[in-house]
Amino acid sequence: MKKEILEKIKQLGGNIAEVNGNSLAEDLRSISFDTVLYQRPKDTPWQTAEDAEPIYGIGKFINENEERFKTDKQALY
């Protein structure tokens, strides 16, 4: 795994101490986070947690990139 990627994971609060570079699958399994990367949706007076977006802003992002999603999903991801 590239050092730049590992540094970004570390900046996001990831523990990369167990990454050994033998294989991508092993490296990904060895990375852990003690914090969440996004807040869990919660019930509010206007919507239930179940109806809320799982990641804040994902709906807006999808709406803005709907055409790209239809034509080139791989580029979007």
Q: Same domain for 48 and 72? A: yes
Q: Same domain for 53 and 33? A: no
Assess whether pLDDT exceeds 90 at residue 5: yes
Predicted pLDDT of residue 24? 93
**Mean pLDDT, residues 43-54 taken together:** 88
SS3 47: strand
**Mean pLDDT, residues 50-68 taken together:** 86
Write down the pTM of the prediction: 0.48
**Residue 14: band (very low, low, confident or very high) from pLDDT cuts 50, 70, 90:** very high
- Structural domain of residue 27, as residue ranges? 1-37
Predicted pLDDT of residue 54? 78
Say which DSSP state 56 is in: T
